[in-house]
Chain A
Amino acid sequence: MPKQLMKGNEAVVRGAILAGCRAFFGYPITPASEIAEAAALLMPEVGGVFIQAESEVAAINMLFGAASGGVRAMTASSSPGISLMQEGVSYAAGAELPMVIVDVMRGGPGLGNIAPEQGDYYQVVKGGGHGNYKVIVLAPNSVQEMCDLTYLAFDLAEKYRNPVYVLADGFIGQMVEPVEFPEPKLPQIDKTWCVDGTAETRHNLITSIYLAPEELEQHNLRLKEKYDRIKREEVRYEAYKVDDAELVLVGYGIVSRILKSVVDIMRGDGYKVGLLRPITLFPFPDEKIREIAKTAQVFLVVELSTGQMVDDVKLALNGMREVKFYGRCGGMVPSAEEIIEQVKSIFEELEKEIEHQK
């Protein structure tokens, strides 16, 4: 299939439909609204459902209903809307329902603004709802990945019977780039657990309630086992010129694109700089970071936040190496040049230290 120019938010819906998604429930919010708009246009064309819900609370619960039916279904929103959905995500994780949630992050806290930010890392990756649960989080950094990772999200959601997030930002959502689309899938409903109004599923029960403490503990431990399996099997990242890097930049989403420019420019000037881009934020590429730390001296985490993912980098390294942070927020986006200044000053510090040690 030839490539096609497309906006990130529109590529999401096509990736979803190609993965077999046939239901979308959402509530309009900038900068994610194009996803609902594209779904409203396209879902009926493929025999799917589109409902503009009365709120994000209703949207996530409609999704809960459709997911209970074993059908591939999704919602999309932006930061404040995701805050409202957290109750439903906790229930879905507890009831082990596969579902896909796209978050096109904007500036916060509160109403904040509609500019791109990465301030939802905590509420999405750490699970903003109650209880011991985890969600798989995929972080696209191009329009192609808005399609591909949404497509993948449905497979992962079903494989683990767990909510999966596609965590994007305003830039990735609004950006236009060429996309090559994958082949359509026509998934079958798994009747072993869902309820679809047939005799085969009559004895199935979708629930997150386990009244007896012993049972609820067992349920939690079973979930933890599942999350551990996800940690072992689903880590995805992109490592760029890290092999001989003295300083490794870490960033996801739109930031990773800027960081790649930084690496290219600085390598041209002889600086040994590399980039690690987590594609899965949960599971986080801890092991890869530790492996890189065997050769790299220092890590610089860059985010469109005041520092959230940086915690996970620090946890992965557990004091092995120094971790620096540079962030902009509120819709401010650092230029490659701005980050280069930061990197250069870190290199100067390193040299001074080496001098001092001599």
Chain B
Amino acid sequence: MATTILKKPSTFYEVFTRKPDADKINTHYCPGCGHGKLHKLIAEAIEDLGIQDRVIIINPVGCSVFLYYYFDTGHIQVAHGRAPAVATGIKRVHPHSIVISYQGDGDLAAIGGNEILHAANRGEHITVFFVNNAIYGMTGGQMAPTTLPGMKTTTTPRGRDIHNEGYPLKMAELIATLEAPVYVERVALTDAKNMAKARKAVRKAIQIQVEGKGFAFVEALSACPTGWGMNPPDAERWINEVMTKYFPLGVFKDISDKVEPVKFERKILTPEDIKKAIGIDGGEITQVKKYQRNTVAEKYKNPKIKIAGFGGQGILLLGLVLTQAGMLEEYHVSWLPSYGPEMRGGTANCHVNISETEIASPLVSIPTVLIVMNRPSLEKFERTVKPGGIIFYDNSLIDIEPSRKDVEVVAVPATKIADDLGSTKVANMVMIGAYIGYTGILTKESVFDALDMMVKRKEFNELNRRAVEAGMKFVM
């Protein structure tokens, strides 16, 4: 064996100072373990490619949790199974880094099955080394998702029974079925011939990332003499003779010649660019304009408004336009919708406050103004209106009259007026007109400007304005 330890690659620390025990020269791995072999291949590749400063290794949970003892590179130690997600995060924010995710079979194929599949499927520009030794080494020899049928482990004491535990997962084959991965190969860390192939595969998988080509995956069949209860030579023989029958070696996918390299470029923005990019540079805001408020009767001031109807009537927009117009007139405002499944069909309602003073609660449980556009809403909310309040209802749709005698009631045939204007859709605008016309709380000017700001489809502006005016005309 002495011939194999000629020179330590410079990617390894000369002395393993992070290792807590007294021995700072040898690894913590058992004799004959495949991890050490794979570590060496990776270290050599990093050295040869001249990328040591750029490398960040994701340390998994399992025997290889201590990668950071050995590799003189950046390291992130992560939760069990989550290495590909963490690798995704770091690679996306630092695309020039070379991210190597190293996982065992329990980590990658069991608990982290979802993360590896999706990282591969997104084509993350990371290199994944998957150590398959068919067993849980760190926790003391339990079944892995890659344990062979009939193989005895501490949790399959009678041998893996495919009727109870299912079949070993062939991860290389599985990953190779996805569109995005660039290179997928399975190697064996055994004799010289297989080691030569493994060396080539490791190098290629990292090279693909260096070239900006995408996702590379190398599965390495690896000995666990301790877990298997074998001596190292027998363990290697067992890989070659038994394991490779179930997990055949070879390249399962290689499109590295065909894919175009991706160039990562960082956008540098000034503070002004940022404000513009997120729409807060004041571009569309017309607030420099001063609005002359109407004189409003005391009873209509500081309205707490509830607006209700069925989905599709533009109930939420009705509230938003009032809110925006109120803000333009420099009132304190708030808007609160019903949300979720309530909005997907059925009823919709929202709460609007327009106030001369700071708004404490944005919730309107006892409205001073109720605007209702269907019968269920009138029936539901009529009783909540504050005595002395006011109810606006669409009497072209609602075939009953409010029964309250202690509130003002204004019947507006909003839907009929809207139909006469040419579109049922603008009934909500007619209601706005009726409300502002009757109470004077907001001016036509601010409502028109609010409409310009809230309604993205400008072709509706003319009709919306006419509908607001028709509503005002009806009540005045």
Contact = CB atoms under 8 A, between A and B. Distances in A.
Interface of A: 1-5, 13-14, 17-18, 22-23, 25, 30-31, 42, 45-47, 49, 51, 53-55, 57-59, 61-69, 71, 73, 87-88, 91, 95, 114-115, 170-171, 174-178, 181, 183-184, 186, 195-199, 201-209, 211-212, 215, 254, 257-258, 260-261, 263-264, 333, 335-337
Interface of B: 18, 20, 52-56, 58-59, 65, 68, 72-79, 82, 85-94, 96-99, 114-115, 117-118, 122, 266-269, 271, 273-275, 277-278, 280-282, 285, 287-288, 320, 323-324, 327, 333-337, 339-341, 359-363, 365-366
B86 A65 contact: yes
B456 to A, nearest CB: 14
Q: Is the interface of A mostly helix, strand, loop or mixed?
A: mixed
B97 A64 contact: no
Contacts of A53: 85, 118
Contact of B78 (A1, A64, A263): A64
Would you list the 5 A-B pairs with minimal beta carbon distance, nearest first?
A: A65-B89, A197-B97, A47-B267, A335-B365, A195-B74
Contacts of A198: 53-54
Contacts of B320: 5, 176
Contact of A207 (B68, B268, B287, B323): B68
Contacts, number: 235
Given A195-B76, A202-B74, A211-B20, A68 B362 contact: no
Instruction: Please indicate which of the listed interface residues A3, A4, A336 has the most CB atoms of chain B within 10 Å of its own CB.
Output: A4
A50 B456 CA distance: 26
A31 B340 contact: yes
A131 to B, nearest CB: 12
Instruction: Please indicate which of the listed interface residues A178, A212, A263 has the most CB atoms of chain B within 10 Å of its own CB.
Output: A178
A175 B336 contact: yes
Contacts of B336: 171, 174-176
Given A63-B89, A177-B333, A336 B98 contact: no
B358 to A, nearest CB: 9
B278 A46 contact: yes
A197 B55 contact: yes
A123 B91 CA distance: 30
Contacts of A18: 274, 278
B150 to A, nearest CB: 33
B88 A65 contact: yes
A150 to B, nearest CB: 13
A61 B82 contact: yes
Contacts of A2: 282, 285, 287-288
Contact of A1 (B56, B88, B280, B362): B280
Given A54-B114, A58-B82, A202-B72, 17 more contacts: A5-B323, A25-B89, A30-B339, A54-B115, A57-B82, A58-B115, A63-B89, A65-B91, A68-B89, A69-B90, A115-B340, A177-B335, A199-B53, A209-B77, A211-B20, A254-B363, A257-B361
A30 B340 contact: yes
B115 A178 contact: no
B79 A91 contact: yes
